[in-house]
Structure 1
Amino acid sequence: MNTIQLLEQNISETYKLLFSYENRLTKEPANFALRLTLQSLRTHLNELQTQYREANELSSTLLDDIEHLKPQYFVDFLLLMGWIPITEGEHFREYQAPHHLGLPSDYFLEVPKESAKNVWQKYAIRIVEMLSKIYHCTPEDLQIVLKRGHHIFSMGITDKKRWIS
């Protein structure tokens, strides 16, 4: 279940609770605790709806940009970040997370070998969402790294006169 689906489920459950408590309030209009609970639920619902709108906007942004990403960009990124190729099947390659990330030892990512449009976009969006959480960056920033990754290099200063890459 992806983020948007989880938010939809939470919003639906919150609405059910809200209606249930509103019905109780009509029977117990003087119940102060019930009024506080309703206020809290309304606040929670507003927060969920805001998160839902933001997630939808992000999803549509990702979908617009995802067509430019190729499976090889993900493979290059994962290998560069220390992910270990563990299995290659007919349609997918699996990569195990490096130990320093602290993920469970059985955690792995599947990357499709080809970018068939109907399947590729869904996988690419999901992989971008997962990797952005793992590496604590925005999905947009990760897409930039993926698209231009083979052109990006890091620079540092060893002293004021000498740059190294």
Structure 2
Amino acid sequence: MDHLAVQTPIPQDAWRVVGTVLGSYRENRREVEVTWEELVQVFEHWGYTARPATGATFKFKPRPGTRWPFPSESPRKEFSFHRPHGRVIPKKYYPTYRSILQRTLGWDANTFKVESEEEEIQRRLVEERMRREEEERNRREAQEKQEKGKKRGRVGRRNRH
């Protein structure tokens, strides 16, 4: 974890999934099972799309315009994982996934920690503010589009006479 000075706090559910894959999470000192759907869901929440590539390979690509929830030192790059045949990701896949995340995103077992209650409150406030800003931006864009449409209609009628 040389490029990130501080562990990044993440929600408990994401910590269980990503921490398990990275080898830093244990529940009552036992390894935890992670499903493919849980892994995809975490990355989709973090601004990635997961799409089939070839065979059982899935490509995870950052969506344009989404905010990366981590420090700017952590790059947003695309990467691929082999999807397991079953619902649960076999533990033997973890080292490969871990290696891919280390190589492409610079993540290791020390990159994340579970967020405290205070950090969760802060994250939720930021997410709510971002959601409101997004809604306001969408509302303004729709209003501008509507106004442009009205102007075009008036110009078109004038030119017909």
TM-score of the superposed pair, with normalisation by structure 2: 0.35
Higher fraction of helix: 1
Higher relative contact order, chain-length normalized (CA < 8 Å, sep 6+): 2
TM-score (norm 1): 0.35
Who wins on radius of gyration, i.e. which is larger? 1
